[in-house]
C-alpha cells in the first residue's frame, strides 16, 4: 500500500472511529508527514518496503537532530509511527509491523506549575470586573466575557479545548456543567458560585450582542465578530490578563487546570475525586499533583519547625 494513502486511511480511522481530537490528529499528521518524506528520500514509497532497520534509523536520526527534540515530542513521534504500522497490520494491508521493537523514550517527570490562590485572584481581576461590582458599568463587553472564561477554566479544571466547545445548553444544569473531553467522553463537573455568576452576567449582558454579529451558533463563548471563540484566542486572552496582573511566570490555559487540581488537593480533596473532575482515564495521571502538595508541605515544615534544618 502506498505510504501517503496509508497515512490518510490511518488518520481517518483515528479521527472517526477512535474519536481523537482535531488537535491530536493534526499532531499525528505532522509526525507522519515527516516520516513519509524521510522514507521517500530513501526510495521507499510502499508500506511493505519499510523494515525495522529503517524505522530504527529514522527514530535515531530524529533523536540526534539539532536542536534536540523534547522527550515528549520524540515519544509522540514514535507513537505516531507505531500506530500507523499497527493499524496496517490489523487491517491486513501488510503482514509485519516494522515498528514492533520501538520503545518510547523515558520522559523526565515534570511537575505542573500552579499559581497560588492569590495569583489566581490577581489573574481573574485583571481579566475583567467581578459580576455585581461597581466597576461593571461602562466596561468593555469583552472583559465580561473574559472574566467568565477564566472563572470557568479555574472553577472546573477543564481543558481550554473543552471550554471553547461548550454550548449554551451545557450550562443549563444549575451548578453542574456538562463537559465533553478526550475521545468525546462526557463528564459532569460542579461549578462554584463565582463562575456561575460570571457566566450569567456574560449570557445576559454580552453574548446576545456578540451573537447578533455572526451566524447562529450554539457555542457558549463567542469572539468579537460573533464566531465561536478559538483555543488560540482563549490562550491570548489569558496571556493578556497575566500581563496586566503582573504575573511574570508563564501562564497558559493549562496553568489554570494545574492550579485547580493543586488547590483541591491542598484543600483535602481525594485524589480519585480530582481524577474524575479532570477527566483523567487513570489515577496515575492525577497523582503527579500529590507530589506538588507534598513538596508544599515539606517547604512549610522546613520554614516553620525549629528543628527542621
69 and 158 part of one domain: no
Q: What whole-number distance in Å separates Cα of residue 12 and Cα of residue 7?
A: 9
Does 170 lie in the same domain as 44? no
Instruction: Based on the fold, state whether residues 134 and 269 are members of the same structural domain.
Output: yes
Asked if 165 and 288 sit in the same domain, the reply is yes
Is 280 catalytic? The answer is yes
Instruction: Report how far residue 305's alpha carbon sits from residue 299's, in angstroms, rounded to the nearest whole number.
Output: 10
Q: How many domains does the chain have?
A: 2
Any domain includes 174: yes
**Domain-located, residue 104:** no
The confidence score (pLDDT) of residue 112 equals 66
159 is catalytic: yes
What confidence score (pLDDT) does residue 283 get? 78
Nearest to 112 by CA among 283, 261, 247: 261
3 state SS of 92: coil
pLDDT value of residue 196: 93
How far apart (Å, rounded) are the C-alpha atoms in residues 51 and 307?
62
Residue 102 forms part of a structural domain: no
Any catalytic annotation for residue 244?
no
Residue appearing with cell numbers 493543586: 262
The span from the CA of 210 to the CA of 228, in Å, is: 10
- Per the domain annotation, does 211 fall within a domain? yes
Domain extent at residue 197: 117-302
Question: Cα–chain-centroid distance for residue 66?
Answer: 27
Q: Taking Cα atoms as reference points, which of 251, 286, 2 lies closest to residue 115?
A: 251
Our answer to whether residue 113 is catalytic in this structure is: no
Q: Among residues 35, 154, 202, 289, which one is catalytic?
A: 289
276 and 138 in a common domain: yes
Q: What is the DSSP string of 177-241?
A: EEEE-GGG-EEEEE--HHHHHHHHHHHHHTHHHHHTTS----BSSB-TTSSBPPHHHHHHHHHHH
The catalytic residue among 13, 182, 187, 231 is 182
Question: In this predicted structure, what is the pLDDT of residue 137?
Answer: 56
Catalytic residue among 159, 196, 207, 263: 159
Are 132 and 213 members of one domain?
yes
- In a shared domain, residues 138 and 59: no
Of 204, 127, 131, 214, nearest in space to 168 by CA: 204
- pLDDT at res. 301: 64
Q: Is the pTM of this model over 0.85?
A: no
Helix (H, G, I), strand (E, B) or coil at 2: strand
- Residues 45 and 134 placed together within one structural domain of the fold: no
CA-closest candidate to residue 222, choices 154, 29, 214: 214
- CATH number, domain containing residue 273: 1.10.443.10
Same domain, 124 and 77: no
What kind and span of H or E run contains 266? helix 253-266
User: What pLDDT score was predicted for residue 287?
Assistant: 74
For residues 179 and 136, the answer to whether their CB atoms sit within 8 Å is no
* pLDDT given for residue 133 in this prediction: 64
Check which CATH number belongs to the domain holding 29 and give it. 1.10.150.130
Distances, alpha carbon 166 to alpha carbons 149, 177, 215, 229, in Å: 11, 9, 17, 10
| Same domain assignment for residues 149 and 269 | yes
Is there a domain that residue 110 lies in? Answer: no
On whether both 163 and 32 belong to a single domain, the answer is no
Which bin fits 107, alpha (ψ -120 to 50), beta or left (φ > 0)?
beta
Assess if residue 105 is contained within a domain: no
Q: Among residues 85, 145, 263, 280, which one is catalytic?
A: 280
Of 62, 85, 257, 263, which one is the catalytic site residue? Answer: 257
- The pLDDT, as a whole number, for residue 53 is 92
Q: How many CA atoms lie within 13 A of 152 on its CB side?
A: 31
Q: Does residue 96 sit within a domain?
A: no
Please tell me the predicted confidence (pLDDT) of residue 234: 92
Q: Which of 73, 90, 107 is the last residue of a domain?
A: 90
Residue 42 in 3-state DSSP? coil
Q: Please report, in tens digits, the pLDDT of each residue of the chain (309 residues total).
A: 789 999 999 999 888 877 778 888 899 999 999 999 999 999 998 988 999 999 999 988 888 887 877 777 888 888 899 999 999 998 888 888 888 887 766 655 566 678 899 999 999 999 988 877 655 556 788 999 999 999 999 999 998 989 999 999 988 888 888 888 777 788 888 898 999 999 999 999 999 999 999 888 999 999 989 999 998 999 999 999 999 999 877 788 888 989 998 898 888 888 888 888 888 877 777 777 776 666 666 766 677 767 666
* Assigned domain for 108 exists: no
Same domain, 131 and 212: yes
Amino acid at each position: 500500500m502506498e505510504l501517503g494513502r496509508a497515512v490518510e486511511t490511518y488518520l481517518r480511522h483515528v479521527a472517526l472511529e477512535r474519536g481523537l481530537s482535531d488537535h491530536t490528529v493534526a499532531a499525528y499528521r505532522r509526525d507522519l508527514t515527516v516520516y513519509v518524506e524521510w522514507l521517500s528520500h530513501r526510495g521507499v514509497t510502499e508500506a511493505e518496503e519499510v523494515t525495522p532497520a529503517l524505522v530504527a534509523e529514522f527514530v535515531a536520526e530524529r533523536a540526534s537532530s539539532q536542536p534536540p527534540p523534547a522527550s515528549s515530542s520524540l515519544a509522540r513521534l514514535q507513537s505516531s509511527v507505531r500506530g500507523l504500522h499497527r493499524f496496517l497490520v490489523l487491517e491486513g494491508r501488510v503482514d509485519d509491523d516494522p515498528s514492533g521493537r520501538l520503545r518510547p523514550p523515558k520522559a523526565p517527570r515534570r511537575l505542573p506549575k500552579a499559581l497560588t490562590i492569590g495569583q489566581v485572584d490577581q489573574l481573574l481581576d485583571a481579566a475583567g470586573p467581578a459580576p455585581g461590582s461597581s466597576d461593571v458599568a461602562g466596561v468593555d463587553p469583552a472583559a465580561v466575557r473574559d472574566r467568565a472564561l477564566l472563572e470557568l477554566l479555574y472553577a472546573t479544571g477543564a481543558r481550554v479545548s473543552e471550554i471553547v466547545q461548550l454550548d449554551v445548553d451545557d450550562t443549563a444544569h444549575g451548578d453542574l456543567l456538562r463537559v465533553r473531553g478526550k475521545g468525546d467522553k462526557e463528564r459532569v463537573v460542579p461549578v462554584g458560585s463565582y463562575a456561575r455568576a460570571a457566566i450569567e452576567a456574560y449570557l445576559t449582558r454580552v453574548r446576545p450582542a456578540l451573537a447578533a454579529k455572526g451566524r447562529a451558533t450554539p457555542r457558549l463563548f463567542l469572539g468579537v465578530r460573533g464566531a465561536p471563540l478559538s483555543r488560540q484566542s482563549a490562550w491570548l486572552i489569558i496571556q493578556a490578563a497575566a500581563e496586566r496582573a503582573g504575573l511574570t511566570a508563564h501562564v497558559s490555559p493549562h496553568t489554570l487546570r494545574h492550579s485547580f487540581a493543586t488547590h483541591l488537593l491542598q484543600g483535602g480533596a481525594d485524589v480519585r475525586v480530582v481524577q474524575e473532575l479532570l477527566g483523567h482515564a487513570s489515577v496515575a495521571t492525577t497523582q503527579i499533583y500529590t507530589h506538588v502538595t507534598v513538596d508544599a508541605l515539606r517547604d512549610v515544615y522546613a520554614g516553620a519547625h525549629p528543628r527542621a534544618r
